[in-house]
Amino acid sequence: MTQLNAQLAFIRELDRLKSVRRQALIKSDNNRQENSAEHSWHIALTAVTLQEYAEEDIDISRVIQMLLIHDVVEIDAGDTFAFAAIDDLNAQEEKELQAAHRIFGLLPEAQSQSMLALWLEFEKAESADGRFAKAIDRILPLIQNVQNSGGSWARHKVKKSQVLARNQYLDGLAPKLWDYVCEQIDVAEAKGWLIS
Amino acid sequence: MTQLNAQLAFIRELDRLKSVRRQALIKSDNNRQENSAEHSWHIALTAVTLQEYAEEDIDISRVIQMLLIHDVVEIDAGDTFAFAAIDDLNAQEEKELQAAHRIFGLLPEAQSQSMLALWLEFEKAESADGRFAKAIDRILPLIQNVQNSGGSWARHKVKKSQVLARNQYLDGLAPKLWDYVCEQIDVAEAKGWLIS
């Protein structure tokens, strides 16, 4: 297979992420479930918009590219709700690693290796870029749920303590965003969207 | 309004692009119509994947950001088919400019100006980054239609000459991609997906 044919196979495969449904609901589209492709677009632009709040030096180009590919593995592995049982989340990790090898493996060797490395950097969140990308991945669902009367929290009876624990990650990485999150979690509790 | 509140208003507004339907059909999701948010994700990753084919020096970070925002104006202006009548395409241009001012105008001043400038750079395609971004915007629908037995071409009885004229843009900018396009247009004609 030529270099270009391998790249086109990858581009065609990406189309399938548009059929992977997440728990988030889209207010502007009759509350249908969001898919992972449009989520990845939204989160990349959220990172662009909020980049000034990163405490560490980041390379926004790498952060965007991480976020564009972070969910591609769901083509094989599907989406797991952030507040699912811990056994389900662990099983998901293994499935996603296999998926990463298969899907990025469609690309020519050098490109495949660099995409896989970028995906792992996001998963491990051990670099400044990986940490900020992960922080943005935590805050966007909160912004959407607050916009949408509790959205997936309300539907799944999520607890305030769970959302606090998940977003505490922002403390230190983006303190101003963490302040906003704390404020909004209190609002959500007061409105009954999160269980106390 | 604080800086952060303005940015959050923009991020919330972006959600609406997920309800703007395009002519492209998604094979992996029962041939439903594609929306402009998931399209923007797909095209950004297409640019990342095919960047080596740009004849001019490009800054991939700027190209990606252009492609992420290029369709945001459709929140107000809707999508117009690439092969619509010329009067419709001209009217669309004016609506999109107004939309760009309103939507990017939700952001804090400096950020608003830089997003608007980036959007205009894509529209005018007078820089190397703008030209390559535009070239990718031309080739992705072709890749999708060839994958999907003619897709929107077949549905709208599009002519071979129209697709050739629209993609000729690639000649010079990305000659290897142009060769691929010519080949695929011949295939599409032979299969009856494009009218001779």
Q: Name residue B195's beta-bridge partners.
A: B159
User: What token pair was written down for A7?
Assistant: 């790249």
Mutate to test the interface with A, among B22, B49, B111 (most CBs of A within 10 A): B49
| Residue B45 Cα, gap to closest chain A Cα (Å) | 7
Segments of chain A scoring below 70 in pLDDT = 1
B174, B182 Cβ separation under 8 angstroms = no
At A186, the amino acid letter reads D
Give residue B1's pLDDT.
65
Give residue A85's pLDDT.
82
Report CB contact under 8 Å: A15, B42.
yes
| A-B contacts at Cβ under 8 angstroms | 123
Classified as helix, coil or strand, A24 is strand
pLDDT band at B156 (very low <50, low <70, confident <90, very high): confident
pTM of the model: 0.94
B154 or B104, which is more confident? B104
β-strands B21-26, B32-35: how paired?
A: antiparallel
Report the percent of chain B where pLDDT is more than 90. Answer: 72
Mean pLDDT over all residues of chain B?
93
Give residue A86's pLDDT.
83
DSSP state of B174: S
Q: Name the least confident of B81-90, B94-103, B136-145.
A: B81-90
Report the percent of chain B where pLDDT is more than 70. Answer: 99
Give residue A111's pLDDT.
98
What's the maximum distance between 2 C-alpha atoms anywhere in chain B?
A: 58
Mean pLDDT over all residues of chain A?
93
Residues contacting residue B174 through CB under 8 Å, at least 6 positions apart: B50, B53, B54, B55, B132, B135
Chain B neighbors of A33, CB-CB under 8 A: none
Give residue A151's pLDDT.
84
Going by C-alpha positions, the residue among A60, A114, A51, A14 that lies closest to residue B59 is A60
The class level of CATH for A3-190 reads: mainly alpha
Going by C-alpha positions, the residue among B56, B74, B82, B80 that lies closest to residue B140 is B82
Name residues 58-97 of chain A within 8 A of B (Cβ): 60-61, 64-65, 68-69
Going by C-alpha positions, the residue among B64, B89, B87 that lies closest to residue B78 is B89
Q: Is B27 on the interface with A (CB under 8 A)?
A: yes
As a whole number, mean pLDDT of residues B114-131 equals 96
**Does B84 score more than 80 pLDDT?**
no
DSSP state of A23: E
B179 or A91, which is more confident? B179
